[in-house]
Amino acid sequence: MSAHSVNWFRFASPASFPPLARALVPWFAIPSALLAAAGLYLGLIVAPADAQQGEVYRIIFIHVAAAWMSMFIYMVMAFWSAVSLMFNARLAAMMAQALAPTGALFTFIALWTGSLWGKPAWGTYWAWDARMTSELILLFLYFGYLALRNAIADARRADRACSVLVLVGVVNIPVIYFSVQWWNTLHQGATVSLTAAPRMAAIMLTAMLLMTLAAWLYTIAISLVRVQAIVLERERSVSWTGPAEASQ
């Protein structure tokens, strides 16, 4: 085993990760803030008003970023959960745990901004379109994860139970999305969809991408902060008798 790979496994141990995390946070937080500022500037000030929807459409810059992240974070949680189950790695499970609240937050933001957009655009706060309905179910999946973690007292059991839950969820998400799509066309025909966004000027696309990137970096930064707290709380009573080892 080369010195390089031994190095990585050392950081895979919960005890040695917090310092690394603390060091990494600014590298994500600052670019995130800058990109968000740039994206908001482009989206709220520079981009022109939409021909049909006026100024209201600008909420899309937050809505789309939040929606994409809500989905992406769940995938990343599934990845870390799979890693934690396959290698019995505690830190991977803690990463999933750190990501969950942010994922739930973005899902909620997506729903809220979508609803706010819906009212002026289509006259109703909730139109039961396929995307929003799927997003709502995704919110339930996040809440389920958080509730299960909260309900199980033993941290290790909670890790593993939540990992299984996320993996079952990730397998079902395509099925759920597909079935909601079906349900929507069955009952309403091809009607309003919040994804039928106003025709995108290049500058609007740029703004959306900047916001999504900013959200992604923010997620990494906040998760690194959160995972430090999780590690410290969980490992506080374990005495380390020697060099930290990857959990076996």
Partner 1 sequence: MLVAQDLAAQRGDALLFERLDFALRPGTALFVTGPNGSGKTTLLRIVAGLTRAQSGRLTWDGIEVGAFDAALRAAALFIGHAPALKEELSAEENLALLVSLHGGSADCGALGEALTAWSLARQRALPARVLSQGQRRRVALARLRLAARPLWLLDEPTSALDAAGIDMLCEVVGEHLKRGGMALIASHQEFAPSAGTTHSLRLQ
Partner 2 sequence: MSEAALHPPAIDDSAWRGVSWALARDLRLALRSKSELAVQLLFYVIVVTLFPLGIGPEPGLLRTLGPGALWVAALLASLLALPRLFASDFADGTLEQIALSPHPLPALVLGKILAHWLATGAPLVVLSPLLGMQFGLEGEETKLVVIGLVLGTPTLSLLGAIGAALTLGVRGGGALLALLILPLYVPVLIFGAGAVDTLRGGIAPTGELSMLTAALLAAIVGAPFACAAAVRIALD
The residue type found at 135 is E
Does 27 interact with partner 2 (rule: CB under 8 A)? no
Distance, in Å, from the CA atom of 48 to the CA atom of 217, rounded to the nearest integer, reads: 27
Q: Which CB, 47 or 162, lies closer to partner 2?
A: 162
Q: By CB under 8 A, name the one of 167, 197, 213, 244 that touches partner 2.
A: 167
Part in contact with partner 1 (CB under 8 A); list of ranges 111-119, 165-173, 208-216, 238-246: 238-246
Q: For residue 54, which phi and psi values (nearest 5 degrees)?
A: 70, -140
Distance, in Å, from the CA atom of 80 to the CA atom of 144, rounded to the nearest integer, reads: 17
Q: For residue 201, which phi and psi values (nearest 5 degrees)?
A: -75, 155
Q: Which CB, 69 or 165, lies closer to partner 2?
A: 165
Count of residues that bind partner 1 according to CB under 8 A: 10
Does 154 interact with partner 1 (rule: CB under 8 A)? yes
Q: Which CB, 7 or 237, lies closer to partner 1?
A: 237
Least gap, CB of 192 to partner 2 (angstroms): 19
3-state secondary structure of 50: strand
Least gap, CB of 216 to partner 2 (angstroms): 25
Is the sign of the CA dihedral 230, 17, 164, 182 positive or negative?
positive
Binding-site string for partner 1 from residue 134 to residue 153, where x marks contact by CB under 8 A and - marks none = -------------------x
Terminal C-alpha separation, the chain:
17
Is the sign of the CA dihedral 183, 116, 37, 217 positive or negative?
negative
Residue 31 carries which DSSP code?
H
Binding footprint of partner 2 on the chain (CB under 8 A): 85, 137, 140-141, 143-144, 147-148, 151-152, 154, 156-157, 160-161, 164-165, 167-169, 171-172, 175-176, 178-180, 182-183, 186-187
